[in-house]
Chains A and B, each alone.
Chain A
Amino acid sequence: MKRHFRVWRGDSSGGDLEDFDVEVNEGEVVLDVIHRLQATQTPDLACRWNCKAGKCGSCSMEINGMPRLGCMTRMSTFTADETVTITPLRTFPVIRDLVTDVSFNYEKARETPAFAPPAGVAPGEYRMQQVDVERSQEFRKCIECFLCQNTCHVVRDHEENKEAFAGPRFFIRAAELDMHPLDARTDRKQHAQQGQGLGFCNITKCCTEVCPEHIKITDNAIIPMKERVVDRRYDPLVRLGRKIFRRDQLEAAGESVPRATPATAETPSGRRLPESPALGPDGRLDIAELSAPIQGGPSPFGEDITFPLPPERVTYHHPDPS
């Protein structure tokens, strides 16, 4: 059966949605249709893919406005006469057609301190309990499709936040190392808050929603990391202890004492950063927000929108390369 598709084609200088009618067979996925387009109509249509089984995270794209893997989106999920609109990931600069420059993610990976092996434990002598490794293993399921990075409204359409914000993919990396039973570093939380811009995140759970591996990014990584950072930074005794022991160092380095309110910090350029949600008197996140009728808070797409969008409402314009 022939189905109607609209595929964004172009490069960093601009482009537009092109219309195609393509044969679709029972049991196929969106990536099959792209391959058929390449083989029959547009041999140079650019699209990343590898495993075709949802294991490598290469074929990330936006299908009817939703960030998805092409290989995991079955054609049977659309109604019979529905137009399918395929656009590149919006948060990253377009290279060509559906291929975007995802180097942002590789740069952030380099800025995340690596696993620190425990001193004095020889290879082969590592002992860990299954129940302890499981927490980190959840995050190691990540296939680096970068859909969470793409959907996160802190950087989606906010190029200016990219420098200070590592994104959900690297929050789960920090959480993974924080929860690793044998990791020798103890500053993973501080790094997440101070080096990765964890405070930008106001837990709208969009990342969790798009994760093809169903990793509970917000609940199991971001919230625990936020809470522990809070514990550490705002426990008055700890703070007092730090002040006493570290005054010399702090003064010598000319640093100010850590702020008492979360993440209303200012960037070097004087721009105000987004705020974290308010904390309760116990220093933890207000439970009411987690049990609100809309999970996690406002959707970046607005409350009155349901996916998939009707094709006439997908007005895709890629941001300028500048």
Chain B
Amino acid sequence: MTTTPTRHLYDVVVIGAGGAGLRAAIEARLAGKKTAIISKSLFGKAHTVMAEGGAAAAMGNANSRDNWMVHFRDTMRGGKFLNNFRMAELHAKEAPERIWELETYGALFDRTKDGKISQRNFGGHEYPRLAHVGDRTGLELIRTLQQKIVSLQQEDFAATGSYDARIRVFQETTITELMLDGDRVAGAFGYDRESGDLLLFEAPAVVLATGGVGRSYKVTSNSWEYTGDGHALALRAGATLINMEFLQFHPTGMVWPPSVKGILVTESVRGDGGVLRNSEGKRFMFEYVPDVFRKQYAETEEEADRWYTDPDDNRRPPELLPRDEVARAINSEVKAGRGSPAGGVFLDISTRLPAEQIIRRLPSMHHQFKELADVDITKEPMEVGPTCHYVMGGVEVDPDSGAAFGSVQGLFAAGEVSGGMHGSNRLGGNSLSDLLVFGKRAGEHAAAYLDALPSRPKVSRVDVAAATEVALAPLARADGENPYTLQQDLQAVMGDLVGIIRREGELSDALKRLHEIRLRVATVAVGGGRRYNPGWHLALDLRNMLVVSECTAKAALEREESRGGHTREDFPKMSPQWRRVNLVCSLDEGGQVHLERKPVPAMRPELFDLFERSELAKYLTDEELGEE
């Protein structure tokens, strides 16, 4: 088999074929750029399909009092004010347009009585805000974008006789390295899974849309693709990562049976009336409402139950607190010995809604439990517990353009792989709208970057040879570490030592162990050939998982407070001083993770004024409040 990569020339290469990647590719193609989409799986299988609840956008269809300012406030509160305010602002302002646009691509959302897009309640959102299709909104989104790309290809076919003339999907293709010319992106190097052939994409602009890092954890809702590829590619190309200590553990993952451990139970179950109970049958969430949220949440079961039918005159049930709060509460109940047999708690909708309504409102949950766990959710409660779900941290980007910070130019990032938008904790429903808003922006600005570029950067042969050697090394070694064992060891370190609740000693220990695993990853060996060899693919992914895990562990050790998706048992309080600090990771010349502190950008005054001073006082330092 040849070691010479096949060359492809494009204007924009989008790495990742989930929502953000497809939306970026559509925009780049509409701007007239020849665009390649790199999909690690088959086209249309991306992890976006797993998103259930919906896409948050302040369209005001369900409650006319909703608008972008309310959405902005909710997002900032959810993220504990660590969010990049400009990203949260753009997101809240542009989300409705992005959703409406999907309808022109053929999306069919659920409707209100007057024929508009229906919007549902979700944790942390003040008004019903999530555009949805039952509980399979992610599938609708990915299929809609996939079909829009096909329709663009049909236009190109009519114009040129080739479907692939202006936008082409490279299915089952993985990028292992970005190619640089000085500081400029010159292309991307990778392999085709099906054939094992090496590929070289020569392109002056690359959009990263590779999603998250969940496969580094034992219990995760994420698929095998989520190995932090984009994070690692960005680091190695000279870009920086921020907020890597913030991982969202979704409070309700399935805990039984073992085969589906980690798989998500949508928050809509709670939004539609589901309640959490411990083994004593107690609805325990009322005891876990933190002070900052006390004003917005009900104090009695009666008030909470009234809210479902009369949200204007009652406060929300505490089951709908932001995800980090609910995850921590479940964790505490289980630790206190009040958990379910499989080590979770009970989520019950069966006693709350008639069976017929459960099936209509939560069809895929009903289906999922019936088929995977042999549990009928209309008759019995589910067993649920926290599962690693989303990484808030990611590539540090310019909020308006999605261009990566650091030394590299021509690199853009959108969706889960980018950082800043969600601060320390993401609200449910904000990821689908995030990837549409910033996917579009990244595609648009990648195209604009190209227009301003004086000359096309060149890929160096030396770099290609080096990337080839790295890619083929695991196959060349006669014997060495088994990649599956290494992955399990890595998952054990991250799950046990860098999990939901973190401690200084464990984090230092984790860093030591990660260093040992790094040495072992360098000697990983796999048998078999290059054609569709999952052992080889995992061996290459390990490198990325490892460096990203190091960033997470390092940042988690550094940040001495508890905030959103980062809980330190030894520093249980949220600190206004730490709110002003972003932790930024980069790689030094030796490939070691380097961590530094950078100030969080200060909010513009008119955005500041959207909040009551008493609320800001809970998060901000006196000094910051005094400046106003």
Q: Using CB atoms and an 8 Å cutoff, list the residues of chain A in contact with chain B.
A: 11, 25-29, 31-32, 38-40, 43-58, 71-72, 74, 76, 95-97, 99, 101-102, 106, 109-110, 113-115, 117, 123-124, 126-130, 133, 136-137, 140-144, 177, 180, 183, 213-214
Contacts and interface: CB of A to CB of B under 8 A. Distances in A.
A128 B527 contact: no
Given A109-B150, A123-B100, A140-B133, A56 B223 contact: yes
A120 to B, nearest CB: 12
B471 to A, nearest CB: 16
Contacts of A101: 194
Nearest to A56: B45
B223 A47 contact: no
B139 interface: yes
Contact of B140 (A49, A124, A140): A140
A52 to B, nearest CB: 7
Given A53-B50, A123-B101, 13 more contacts: A27-B257, A31-B259, A38-B534, A39-B484, A44-B526, A45-B534, A50-B223, A117-B104, A133-B111, A137-B108, A141-B139, A142-B143, A214-B367
Nearest to A12: B531
B42 to A, nearest CB: 7
A129 B43 contact: no
A53 B133 CA distance: 18
A272 to B, nearest CB: 31
Given A114-B106, A140-B140, A53 B154 contact: no
Interface in B506-550: 526-529, 531-536
Given A45-B534, A50-B45, A25 B372 contact: no
B51 to A, nearest CB: 10
Contact of B97 (A38, A97, A123): A123
A293 B279 CA distance: 49
Nearest to B59: A124
B140 A99 contact: no
A43 B103 contact: no
Nearest to B262: A52
B105 A44 contact: no
B154 A113 contact: yes
Given A43-B534, A46-B534, A143 B115 contact: no
Contacts of B529: 44
Interface in B236-263: 256-260, 263
B67 interface: no
A106 B47 contact: no
A51 B526 contact: no
B111 A129 contact: yes
Interface of B: 41-45, 47, 49-50, 59, 96-97, 100-101, 103-106, 108-111, 114-116, 118, 133-134, 136, 139-140, 143, 147-148, 150-151, 153-154, 157, 163, 171, 194, 223-225, 256-260, 263-264, 364, 367-368, 371-374, 482-485, 488, 526-529, 531-536
Nearest to A177: B106
14 contacts: A51-B223, A51-B263, A52-B223, A54-B371, A54-B372, A55-B364, A56-B45, A58-B41, A71-B259, A72-B371, A123-B103, A143-B49, A180-B106, A213-B367
Contact of A99 (B47, B136, B143, B532): B532
B44 A130 contact: no
Given A28-B259, A114-B147, A43 B526 contact: yes
B533 to A, nearest CB: 4
A57 B45 contact: yes
A25 B258 contact: yes
A54 B371 CA distance: 9
A28 B257 contact: yes
B527 A55 contact: no
B484 A126 contact: no
Contacts of A58: 41-42, 45
CB-based closest 10 A-B pairs:
A27-B257, A115-B106, A44-B528, A114-B151, A43-B535, A127-B115, A123-B100, A39-B484, A46-B532, A124-B100
